[in-house]
Structure 1
Amino acid sequence: MCTPEETSLLQAEEAFSALLDRINTLIFEPLLLTGEPSDCKERECVQLLLKLTEQGRHLRDLTQASLGTLRQRLRSPATFSLHSVHLLHRPDLFLEAYRQYFGTYTRCVVVQIFQKTTSKKSEFWRSRRKALKQFLTSVTLETSGAAALSGVLCQPLTDHVQQYVLLLLRLGDAVGEHHPARELAIQAADGFVTLQSLIRQALEEASATQALWGTLSSRLVDALCTADRRVLQDSQDMPVVASPVRADRVLLFNDVLVLLQGNGFQTFDLKLVWVEASPDKTQVSSRYEFHVITPEEEFSLSARDAHSKACWLSKMNQAICQALSGKTDIPGQEQDQDPEGDEPPASRSCLYTFRTEDRLRLATYDGSWSWGKPHGKGTLKWPDGRNHVGDFHRGLEHGFGIHLVPSGTEDKYDCYKCHWREGRMQGYGICEYANESVYKGYFQDNMRQGFGILESSPQAPQPFKFMGHWDRDKKNGYGVWEDKDRGERYIGMWQADHRHGQGIVVTQSGICYQRTFHADKMVGPGILLSEDDSLYEGSFTKDLAYTGKGKITFPNGYFLKGSFSTGVGRGFHTQGILETTAHPLDPMHTCKRQLGLDAFPVESRWPGIYQQFRDFIRFDCPEDAQEAFLGFHIQTIKEFRKSQEYLFCDRSNPDEVSAKIQDILAELPTHREPESLQLYLQKALKSSAHPLGKLLKLLTLAFQATYSGVGANKHLLVLAQEEVQHHAKEIWAFYRGLLRVALKQQGQIQEEREDADKSAPEAYRLVLPLILPCFYPELFMLYMLYHEKEDGLYSQGIVHLSLFPDTKVLEYLDVQKHLWPLKDLTLTTNQRYSLVKDKCFLSATECLQKIVTTMDPREKLEMLEKTYDEIENTVSRVLEREYKLPMDDLLPLLIYVVSRARIQHLGAEIHLIRDMMDPIHRGGLYDFLLTALESCYEHIQTEDMRLPRLARVSNQKALW
């Protein structure tokens, strides 16, 4: 059975539904017949009226749906429960519909749509004034048509909302405390109570805003009046004085702060307004003052008393919070008002175009802000096409950022991917220029500074690559220039973008020379090494023509000393003395002459690489500047040229997790024992995310740029060898620096036990074997070129010895027959010992062959020691007793094993081992075995081994 309260609710819904039908017929339908709008503002008014009409009809439809469920409830109370009534089942639909309706209604009030509508068709609405007033509960004779129209569209609806509250509360009380519909009714009533408050506040703000427009000039109204804008505070109602700017009136709206200045005004978007309520209390004049901070201006507002100041501060903070949250004038359930006194956040995200500041004039910034300054990640765009995407700090570019600068050519930009500090490029970066050349290196004050690599496009008319030191955007100091078009490489000193000082030029044809340069011009005498290994000392032209006094030393040791000249059509002329009889120089003096040793001390090469890593240590490894000091590595660059994706992408090796420096420093002290340290260094040097790995990567690039390709010249071997050894020392020093910082952060003290002399053995023992594989291809090529002649003679001897069986070679080498491992030979019935090849000392031969399978000098020496052990074990097995080989027996046996191992470029292998082995082994067993191997190598080069003397000796012995 239905309650009287349900019947009352049904009657109220019937009356309200009928009222909405009449309003639709008498008001909404005529409103839609306003005609075509003549301008944008009229078009906006028409759109608002259409929207209000749609929302009014939606309210009517909801009311009729509610009425239908109430009627069904009255007809069938036993089968249709109370909580199925539409108003109780979905009160959120009703609340949202009323919010939307009154939101549009207040917009119409603010822009005075009802006044404009009634004045446009005054006769029509004057004729309907009496009908309109019938909808209102309180009217007077002075009520205008506009006021009546406005009241009809508002008062009946607010009255019905209030009626909903009373009826739902009564319904909740009537159904009983334990009825399932009681809670629904109470919740619905609470929602309408909140809605009443919000509607009342919205209507008051709309009325106040509408009244404000009447106090302003039409020009100001046209500029400031928008449908969504509401006035919250007016200095005429609660006075404040602005300083140092002059303002006749201060208006606080829900979206902007406005300073009226005569006939002009200034507006400040509240999303970018910060209020600081912390005046200097020592000055009486500023006691009620608070500061307003905007992107381009700062000023103060002074109130008369503490109450006025608190009121303004509260209203401004609430308005800023509302603007940041995007709330409407009728907020929804999830957008309840902020609690009193809440302060807006200091950090915000917003779009703003600068107007007055010189550096940023007309630039648009979209990103994070803090206290009026760009702060955080954002994008800055200038009208001339410049574009910066990255990190900002207190208004300046600071941190990693991408900067695009138009080049003047359509769709062509210089693209800087770099670290910034206080608005200027500072640290590691990559620049892709519009001409498709690329610079990877360090910047300072927007200029290339320190180590850097500049490489042109391969399709450039004169392709090049420079790797070296820069100073104030110019090549300065030690560097390597490769002219890919001419096939030349310059290694040496630079000044102001010119070759200046000592330099070495290596050509693709094999010619190389060392000369002093002055502003790209050669001055003074130099050294020129020709492809045929002749050496010229004196002056020569850019075209490598001898001129003036000089000396030519030929490969055979003869030399020509005199004056040289060339002329057009005259060929080459000389006048001097050719020396052929006096003790000629060693031929190796020319073909193995080394260049640059005195000109470029190893400590002076690549200072720009080491400096950044040293500074990183000096500043205690700052994590926020790790990339700026040590650089970053990415797989692809150009695809991110105009995209913010690059800003947030992982710029480390994609196959690795980018290591944080603090994690690295925390782990470092845990690896102090030799074995653990060796494994740690091996892992760190292979990781492109580890500082040690980054340093090694840069050093490897510099080494390849110098000694690969055109730079693979035997006259540069010692330069390369020195660099590798020096790199090992520097990497070890960098590791020690990292360890010192790590211990410092953990409150420990590192023992001061290392100087340059003491650290060298550890660098050789721990670091050099780990880094040598990175330099090995280029370094070994230089060793091969350096020992090319010796290896050629050695190869001839090996080829000749390979023609003969084992027993013949052993006999020729005067190996005592009781040491021959004949029992190891398995012969068929048709074989003789004299025909067997490559069977004797097979285990030792196979062991020696493994010397080429590793790049570590220590492992190569270990293979050599195992070879010696295998020879001795074989002899002991033959003699059936332990036998220690004397040198007289060892050397011929070792020569035999070397001849059968057939190792290519053995001279290069021997000398690389000797140069790169740990100094601790010098004078020890390894040194002795290496010396023995070198003796075998030299013996095989002798003429007796290279000529068919062995065959003649064999024939003579057969005749005897």
Structure 2
Amino acid sequence: MRLLSPGVGQPSPAASITPLAPCPPGQLGGSARERQSWHMPSFARPRARHGMCSPEEAALLQQEEVFAATLARISSLVLQPLLTAEPSDARGRECLRLLQQLHGRAQRLWEVTERSLRSLRERLRHPEAVRLESLLLLREADHVLHVHVEYIESYTSCVVVQAFQTAAKQRRDYWRGRRKALRQLLWGLNAVGSMGTAMVQALRQPLAHHVQKYALLLLSLGDALGEGHPARELVVQAAALFGDLQSFMKQALDQAEATQALWHSLSGRLRDALCTPARRLLQDSQDVPVTVTPLQAERVLLFDDILVLLQGHRAHTFDLKLVWVDPEQDGRAFQLLSPEEGFFFGSRRPQDLVLWRHMVTQAVCRALRGKKDFRERGAGLASCETPACRSAAHTFLAEGRLCRATYEGEWCRGRPHGRGTLKWPDGKNHVGSFCQGLEHGFGICLVPQAAEDKFDCYKCHWREGSMCGYGICEYGSDEVYKGYFQAGLRHGFGVLESSPQGPCPCKYTGHWERGQRSGYGIQEDSARGERYIGMWQADQRHGPGLLVTQAGVCYQGTFQADKMAGPGTLLSEDDSLYEGTFTRDLTLLGKGKVTFPNGYTLEGSFGSVARRGLYTQGVLDTAAPLPDPSSTCRRQLGLGAFPAEGRWQGVLGPFWDFVRAGCPGDLQEALLGFHVQSLRELRESQEYLCCERTLLDDSVGRMEDILEEVARHREPEALQQCLRKALGSSLHPLGKLLRTLMLTFQATYAGFGANKHLQALAQEEVKQHARELWAAYRGLLQVALERKGEAPAEEEDAETRDRQVHGLALPLVLPSFYSELFTLYLLLHEPEDGLYGRGLASLGLFPDTQLLELLDVRKHLWPLKNLMLMTHQRHSLVSATECLQKIVTTMDAREKLEALERTYEEIEATVSWVLGQEHKLPMDDLLPLLIYVVVRARIQHLGAEIHLTRDMMDPSHAGGRYDFLLTALESCYQHIQRDGRLASTAHLPGLQGALVAPPALGQP
């Protein structure tokens, strides 16, 4: 590469023969007397005017011409010949690389000098047109200084590893012939002992003189400018920059020479382990003695990137980015902390200890900045302290759980603290939050399995190194666990599900204790077509339980060691009931009693023979009266065996722990969980984690908003809206609680669990969930009031609590469970609804007038005048029909009752319109008209609707208006069900005799 091209940038003849004489001694920015030794006196210099060139500018031009010519000669006489060497060993190749780098940076330095030279020439030629502040030295002072710093760093790296000496030895004969040419670059060459040392001086002396003259010339130019000159501030700043550069260069050169001398004093083994071109020695304990305990180091070396403790031929190295200087002041010693050990520096002389502390602190601060700054001055860092928190990477070597693991991330006082990544050589890695060296907070851990490309992936909250809180674990066996942990084990509520494509697809939803299924839980075995509902202990079914099969058969009994033991109950799909003993594999064995749907009973001893089926010896009783079919099909299981208030304590436990702790924001995420996408995204974990944590960190502020909203909205209407919003959000504690309870409900009563014999169990559970969610709201309210400093809310008595639960909580909660719950009602009342449907179809064939006549509606109450029901009439039974149909469009029991009430009002309004006066209908008149409306409304599964409404109705309505209307509707349902088969005859028996007429509607 040619450094100079013909024409532009060629040195002038005078510059090419002018040697660089040493500058006057003295500190940078010296006195006026020192500057007068090579310039005119300051009082005799004329002040520069705008648009006029000063003698200082002319001197700067001459200095640039000399320096540009010198750089060109250095490149042609020294650097380019050095690059022709052909090294044969690793050290020679490294030296050649450094020289190539130096040559490239010398080229950049020459280019920026040429640009500065051109700007100065333009200024001198056209002083009126080219303003002083447009000079490159002033306009781009930072860039010029940066190029100088790069050149100095490259040059000192060559000095440290003796690159000039190594390259010169390879061509000794050539360099002997170049001595005469080098004399022009350096005076006193004959006194230099070697050619390599001469090259070092040939590159050092011109640059040092150049920087010193730059600073002095710029100071003089600043003095020459008047106070109001627009370029004076730029000139003063540039002079200060070059002054700092001179100090930086002197320090860099001294450190390079000291480092070079150190490598000669060390053994070859230590030198090979420690020597790098960019490393600089800052302090040596041989110069300033210091002792280190408890390591008992023989020698301490402080470099700009590492601290080295020498013990014989062994070197302990500490990355300065991971060295903390204890801020505690002690006149006899100070402590240094590192990721794996701590040690003390001591000295007999307090001033030596102060010096070491100061040097280590400076070195750590500079290492953390990551680059050298020529503006740094020793005095400026005298009072700095090493930051407690920082980011770096480290591989642990000491024995322990982190042995050979590499941590990259945030640290605090020698321990991983904050976000980071921990990787082991076997492929295990953990990405997440750390606290004092332990996993703490949200984290993702991948653990490789023996099978290729198989990982266990733990996405969880951690506390003091163990999983604690909510987590999602995807195992290499294709199992997935979603739930809570404690001390690294599944504990509390959780769901474990195997792959549907696996050999044994299975799902457990329930409680865990110390990693084992324990307490109330639901397990579905898809391969066997069974679902177990009941108690567990030590990973086995133990205690009262229900077993529901895909064929609709239900077992209830007591389990021990995963098998049924003792007496139990069996209910078949056709409502046959067996009460007696079973074998461990649920085969009838021993004494028992079978009750058939028709009321017959078989009591005796049961047994089975392989390949021959079941046999029995007993008494068949056929004399029992026929049972009520409705009571037979309504046999329910589980009631009393599993109290509703004790079923899902594992779900409620984390919430109440959160409330008792005062709802702190840092625990909100552990309660609510987190949103995850796929395992593939999580394996690219560092970036994903930062995004996820940003989202979750915002939720800390939302907790304050949640509590503020709870405290602010306490009036009935506002409270209803507040609860509706809370229950609809997965980021709200109440919403999270509701979603988890929905999960348990679906796991129990959907699929195999959709069995009519579990309807009472499910109904009881929904009501209990409403009570629990209301209590949860009250718990949040108490915390919100405490934070605001207000008096706690008054305790609710049982009556008030029940009123709030049924009037406010249950209507908001019921829609979340309605689908599964209503399915159970449909199955339970399917025979009745089937009979009702047939009656409905038969009665629906009759025209309006015939149906009214068939129902014995008194003719003076008929709304039909022209034998046709006019749909445009406001007062007609069409409106009543439409009102009644709305009971199937809502899930709230109260809204269903309100729709029924509006139906009655429409019927009464129609009758009043027909009679021309207000009229209150007695039951004898109401019931036939209501049957007419029910028939025309054609509501399917009305029995299921009636029974669900009654079960979920507010108990305070019992015996009141709503209860009365629901009883009337149930009477209509029973009448259609009982007499539907006779509806096609010409006459339907009157209803008056079949019913006991209560008081007329509307009467007090």
TM-score grouping bracket, smaller chain normalisation: over 0.9
Q: CA deviation at 1:214?
A: 2.8
Quote how far apart the aligned CAs of 1:441 are. Answer: 0.3
Q: CA deviation at 1:730?
A: 0.4
Q: Which residue of 1 aligns with 2:243?
A: 193
- 1:468 maps to 2:504: no
- Alignment correspondent of 1:593: 635
Pairs within 5 Å for 1:122-161: 122-129=172-179, 131-137=181-187, 141=191, 143-161=193-211
Equivalent residues in 2 for 1:941-952, closer than 5 Å: 941-943=977-979, 945-946=981-982, 948-950=984-986
- Give, as a single letter, the amino acid of the residue that structure 1 aligns with 2:270: L
Q: Is residue 249 of structure 1 aligned with residue 299 of structure 2? A: yes
1:326 to 354, 361, 370: 370
Is the contact between residue 493 and residue 503 of structure 1 (CA under 8 Å) also seen in structure 2?
yes
Structure 1 CA distance for aligned equivalents of residues 219 and 939 of structure 2: 103
1:861 aligns with 2:912: no
Local SS of the residue matching 2:328: coil
Partner residue of 1:732?
A: 774
- Match of 2:67? 16
Q: Which moved more, 1:458-467 or 1:350-359?
A: 458-467
The whole-number CA distance in structure 1 between the counterparts of 2:438 and 2:989 is: 88
For residues 90-148 of structure 1, what are the alpha-carbon distances to aligned partners after superposition, in whole Å with 9 as ceiling and x for unaligned?
44443232211111111111112233233444444344445434433456735433322
* Residue range with higher mean Cα deviation, 27-36 or 62-71: 62-71
Do the aligned partners of residues 797 and 180 (structure 1) sit closer, same or farther apart at CA in structure 2, a change above 3 Å counting? Answer: closer
The 8 Å contact of residues 82 and 181 in structure 1, kept in 2 or not, is answered as yes
Please, which of 796, 819, 824 is the counterpart of residue 754 of structure 1? 796
Deviations 1:495-523 (A, max 9, x none): 22222222211122222221322222221
Alpha carbons of structure 1 residues 652 and 48: separation in structure 2 relative to 1, 3 Å: closer
Identify which of 276, 282, 286 aligns with 1:236: 286
C-alpha distance in 2 between matches for 1:155 and 1:511: 101
* Counterparts of 1:152 and 1:364, CA distance in 2: 46
- 2:668·2:700 contact (CA, 8 Å) conserved in 1? no
Of the three residues 759, 764, 780, the one matched with 1:722 is 764
State yes or no: 1:920 paired with 2:956: yes
Secondary structure (helix, strand or coil) at the match of 2:476 reads coil
Amino acid at match of 2:69: A
Residue 688 (structure 1) aligned with residue 730 (structure 2):
yes
Q: Would the aligned equivalents of 1:824 and 1:839 in 2 still touch at CA under 8 Å?
A: no
What is the correspondence of 1:884-903 to structure 2 with a 5 Å cutoff? Answer: 884-903=920-939
Indicate the larger mover: 939-948 or 484-493.
939-948
Contact 1:490 1:503 in 2 (8 A): yes
Tell me the distance in 2 between the aligned counterparts of 1:812 and 1:799.
15
Letter in 2 for 1:669: A
Instruction: Select between 45-54 and 5-14 the one with higher mean Cα deviation.
Output: 5-14
- Give the CA deviation at 1:322: 0.5
Change (3 A) 1:81 1:373: closer
CA shift in 2, pair 1:478/1:205, >3 Å:
same
- Which among 210, 220, 225 is matched to residue 270 of structure 2? 220
Determine the C-alpha separation between the residues in 2 that align with 1:924 and 1:677.
27
Contact 2:848 2:869 in 1 (8 A): no
Change (3 A) 1:50 1:441: same
* 1:316 paired residue number: 360
Of 265, 268, 292, which residue of structure 1 is paired with 2:336?
A: 292
Q: TM-score, normalised by structure 2?
A: 0.89
Change over 3 Å in CA distance of 1:89–1:616 after alignment to 2: closer
Alpha carbons 1:806, 1:840 under 8 Å: kept: no
User: Could you tell me which residue of structure 1 aligns to residue 881 of structure 2?
Assistant: 845
SS at match of 1:644: helix
Looking at structure 1, the residues matched to 635 and 139 of structure 2 have their Cα atoms a distance apart, in angstroms, of 99
Pair 1:772-2:814 in alignment:
yes
Say if 2:144 is the partner of 1:108.
no
Q: Does 1:674 align with 2:716?
A: yes
Q: Which amino acid aligns with 1:936?
A: C
Task: Report the 3-state secondary structure (helix = DSSP H, G, I; strand = E; otherwise coil) of the residue aligned with 1:823.
Answer: coil
Preserved CA contact (<8 Å) 1:823 1:878: no
- CA-CA distance at 1:239 after TM superposition: 1.6
**Shift of residue 404, structure 1, vs aligned partner:** 0.8
Distance (whole Å) between structure 2 residues aligned to residue 341 and residue 733 of structure 1: 57
Contact 1:500/1:518 (<8 A) preserved: yes
1:530 matched residue in structure 2:
572
**Distance (Å, rounded) in 2 between the aligned partners of 1:805 and 1:91:** 103
Residue 809 of structure 1: how far off its partner (Å): 2.4
**Which ranges of structure 1 fall in alignment gaps of 5 or more residues?**
280-285, 829-837, 955-960
User: Please, which of 621, 624, 631 is the counterpart of residue 666 of structure 2?
Assistant: 624
- 2:110 counterpart (45, 48, 60): 60
* Distance verdict in 2 for CA 1:663–1:7, change over 3 Å: closer
Alignment length, in residue pairs?
Answer: 937
What is the DSSP-based 3-state SS (H/G/I as helix, E as strand, rest coil) of the residue aligned with 1:466? strand
Instruction: Provide the rounded CA distance (Å) in 1 between the counterparts of 2:975 and 2:809.
Output: 34
Identify the residue that residue 647 of structure 2 maps to in structure 1.
605
Return the letter of the residue paired with 1:166: L
Counterpart position of 1:368: 410
Quickly say closer, same or farther: Cα 1:197–1:825, change in 2 above 3 A: farther
Distance across 2 between alignment mates of 1:769 and 1:632: 28
1:946 positional shift: 4.4
Asked if the contact 1:430/1:438 (under 8 Å) is kept, the reply is yes
Q: CA deviation at 1:434?
A: 0.8
Query: What SS is found at the alignment partner of 2:510?
Result: strand
Cα deviation per residue 1:834-884 (whole Å; 9 max; x = unaligned)? xxxx99622212211111111110011111111111111111111111111
Aligned mates of 1:82, 1:582 — CA distance in 2: 122
- Sort the Cα spacing of 1:817 and 1:741 in 2 relative to 1 into closer, same or farther, 3 A: same
Deviation at 1:577, TM superposition (A): 1.2
Question: Structure 1 residues 683 and 73, CA, compared in 2 at 3 Å: closer, same or farther?
Answer: closer
TM-superposed deviation, 1:184: 4.8
Structure 2 residue corresponding to 1:162, chosen from 209, 212, 218:
212
Listed one character per residue, the Cα deviations across residues 208-227 of structure 1 (whole Å, up to 9, x for unaligned) are 22222233222222221211
Structure 2 distance, partners of 1:368, 1:140, is: 56
- The answer on whether the counterparts of 2:284 and 2:300 sit within 8 Å (CA) in structure 1 is yes
Q: 1:717 to 1:148 in 2, by over 3 A?
A: same
Greater shift in the superposed pair: 372-381 or 138-147: 138-147
Ranges in structure 2 where 5+ consecutive residues have no aligned partner: 1-51, 991-1004
Distance in 2 (CA, whole Å) between partners of 1:939 and 1:850 is: 22
Do the aligned partners of 2:245 and 2:375 also contact (CA within 8 Å) in 1?
no
What letter is aligned with 1:817?
Answer: K
SS in 2 for 1:660: helix
Q: Distance in 1 between matches of 2:699 and 2:739?
A: 17
CA contact (8 A) 1:466 1:481 kept: yes
- Contact (CA 8 Å) 1:259, 1:265: kept in 2 or not? yes
TM-score normalised according to structure 1 size: 0.92
Amino acid at match of 1:737: G
Structure 1 CA distance, aligned partners of 2:968 and 2:798?
A: 32
Q: Comparing 489-498 with 805-814, which one deviates more in the overlay? A: 805-814
Distance in 1, matches of 2:875 and 2:117, equals 110
Q: Deviations over 1:169-228 (max 9, x none)?
A: 444555666665555544433332221111111111112222222332222222212111
Q: Distance in 2 between matches of 1:113 and 1:923?
A: 105
Contact 2:96–2:167 (8 Å) recurs in 1:
no
Tell me, yes or no, if the aligned pair for 1:288 and 1:302 is still in contact at 8 Å.
yes
- When structure 1 is superposed on structure 2, of 524-533 and 862-871 the one drifting more is 524-533
User: CA 1:653–1:759 in structure 2 vs 1: closer, same or farther (change >3 Å)?
Assistant: farther
Q: CA RMSD in A?
A: 2.8
Rounded to whole Å, the distance in 1 between the matches of 2:119 and 2:769 is: 88
Separation (CA, whole Å) in 1 of partners of 2:152 and 2:527: 77
Which is further off, 504-513 or 464-473?
Answer: 504-513
Asked if 2 retains the 8 angstrom alpha-carbon contact of 1:558 and 1:585, the reply is: no
Deviates more, 1:904-913 or 1:894-903: 894-903
Kindly provide the amino acid, as one letter, of the partner of residue 483 in structure 2.
G
Q: What is the CA deviation profile of residues 780-805 of structure 1, one whole-angstrom value per residue up to 9, with x for unaligned ones?
A: 11111111111112112211211222
